[in-house]
Amino acid sequence: MPSNIQEIFTEIPKRFDPAAWGPGDASLQFNITGDDGGEWNATITDGKLTVKKGSLSAPSITVTCADQDLLAIVNKELSAVSAFMQGRVKIDGDMSLAMKLQNLLT
């Protein structure tokens, strides 16, 4: 279980399953608020996922949430759907990617 935001973004490429993600490239922007926050991005190209620190100019989807909420989602202490419905997670862009993203994070 990740204990901080950096660990989450280090683990994501190891968890990535191209078959589960399905076809199609995507660019994902994560804007994480809080003391352990920051900006990260992930790009999926030809079935490979790469994570970098920083922001993208035109991502397919942008996820904004607090550091503690993202940790709780990844550690299965908080439902991503519940967090979204409560406004604790904000998503801008391609909502079909949000469902795929949930599987990548949990």
Domain ranges of the chain: 5-105
Question: Three-state SS for 96?
Answer: helix
Task: Report how far apart the first and last C-alpha atoms of the chain are (Å, whole number).
Answer: 10
- Residue 100: the pLDDT is 87
- 106 has pLDDT over 80: no
How far is residue 42's CA from residue 28's CA, in Å, rounded to a whole number? 5
Architecture category of domain 5-105 in CATH: 2-Layer Sandwich (3.30)
pLDDT in tens, 17-54: 999 888 889 999 999 999 999 999 999 999 999 999 99
| Short-list 69, 41, 46, 80, CA closest to 57 | 41
What is the Cα 29 distance to its own chain's centre?
7
Q: Whole-prediction pTM value?
A: 0.93
CA atoms within 13 A on the CB side of 12: 28
